[in-house]
Structure 1
Amino acid sequence: MIQPEEAERLRGVTVYLIGMMASGKSTLGAELAAQLRRPFFDTDALVEQVAGCSIAQIFAEQGEAHFRELETQVLAQLSGYTRLVVATGGGIVLRPKNWSYLHHGLTVWLDAAPELIWQRLKRDPGQRPLLQTPDPQAALQRLMQEREPFYAQADVRVPIHSEASPSQLAEQVWQAICARLRAQPPCNR
């Protein structure tokens, strides 16, 4: 458990979790926010609230471009606040404009192993519009290759190779954040 005085090392900086779908951003984000005693937001959930329908419906009825625009709008709003933990959608890193918002905080890449992501996705196959193809595993590989250079721009990288509890992952992420803060303290972005 992260102690309140430890959490203050972040000052007012928001933590943005980035990474592939099914890397654990939402689950871990909620746990990390609870331990840091900060509000938690999930950009995908907020996009669904704004649109009044599911992400799958947005993709089906209005297309990916519309979804990405809503995602950018949500991120722009969140970037105006401090002391948050934000789980982002997997493709949020693709738009340069989004990086201008992500740079308002500390970006943490949850670099989950491809096998782990695939195992998680097989448990919930119908909820990922970008994988609705004849070969979803190949689509996933393509997305991972396309996005990895963008994820690599994160302030902190946390490799995840196996299943762990949210509290264990939160501790792992916190240790990686602390290492980054020791190397380069935040400047109240």
Structure 2
Amino acid sequence: MNCTMKTNLGKLLADSLRYYYFDSDSLVEQAAGGSSAANSLREGDEKAFRDSETEVLRQLSSMGRLLVCAGDGAVRSSTNLAFMRYGISIWIDIPLDVLANEVLKTEDLSNVAQATSDSNSFSKVLEEISQQYNALREGYETSDARVCLQKVASQLGHEELDCVTPEDMAVEVLKEIEKLTRVKKMMEAAARPF
């Protein structure tokens, strides 16, 4: 799900790997004519918005040396998931309460029900994010690897999740990529005739 950790991590990894960085949601917004036009499209014609996401992923899947931060729509259809199979997909698993706090801090409520100013706003935002997460979880689980913020914090001995930096997460992502490429090479070697 969208969060600053995912964005910062994506940019850091792209720089480290000397890849181009793309955010699929930003590309959909650009194609629609800006964020307000994209929001209008999303609210007015959900199918057209999802078709735009699919087209962005189709175009990106034909390119090389890219790091793509995919939006929530990327895991909503089997077509999008197939386009993501052209590369390595990593699920950056951030606890939902962290996401809810970020939404409230940034007041980025475009994808979440409008929070009210009363004391229940956190629970309302968390409930909405939980519903989104439950609807998308099956798609997330198709990723090649999963890097969990809580696990990284535990491995580093941090009691607070906000002590984990994008650099810490990047190290874990790179470890997962190394494992995946090692397995791929072993499978290719095993498939060669004797």
Same fold (TM over 0.5): yes
1:104 alignment partner, SS class: coil
CA RMSD, Structure 1 to Structure 2 (Å): 2.1
Match of 1:51 in 2: 32
- 1:59–1:129 CA contact under 8 A, matched in 2: no
Percentage of identical aligned residues: 29
1:141 matched to 2:130? The reply is yes
- 1:23–1:112 CA contact under 8 A, matched in 2: no
Match of 1:176 in 2: 176
Q: Distance in 2 between matches of 1:116 and 1:136?
A: 11
> Greater CA radius of gyration, 1 or 2?
2
Match of 1:150 in 2: 139
Code of the residue aligned with 1:172 in structure 2: it is E
Question: In structure 2, do the counterparts of structure 1 residues 23 and 151 end up closer, same or farther at CA, with 3 Å as the change threshold?
Answer: farther
Q: Deviations over 1:86-130 (max 9, x none)?
A: 001023101111012111111111111112212222212234334
Point out where structure 2 has 5 or more consecutive residues left out of the alignment. Answer: 117-123, 151-160, 189-194
The count of aligned residue pairs is 167
- 1:56–1:127 CA contact under 8 A, matched in 2: no
Match of 1:87 in 2: 69
Going by fraction, where is helix more abundant, 1 or 2? 2
Equivalences for residues 25-44 of structure 1 within 5 A = 25-44=6-25
The alpha-carbon deviation at position 25 of structure 1 amounts to 2.5
Taking structure 2 as the reference length, what is the TM-score of the superposition? 0.78
- 2:109–2:115 CA contact under 8 A, matched in 1: no
The alpha-carbon deviation at position 152 of structure 1 amounts to 0.7
Point out where structure 1 has 5 or more consecutive residues left out of the alignment. Answer: 1-19
Considering Cα pairs closer than 8 Å and 6+ residues apart, tell me whether 1 or 2 has the greater RCO. Answer: 1
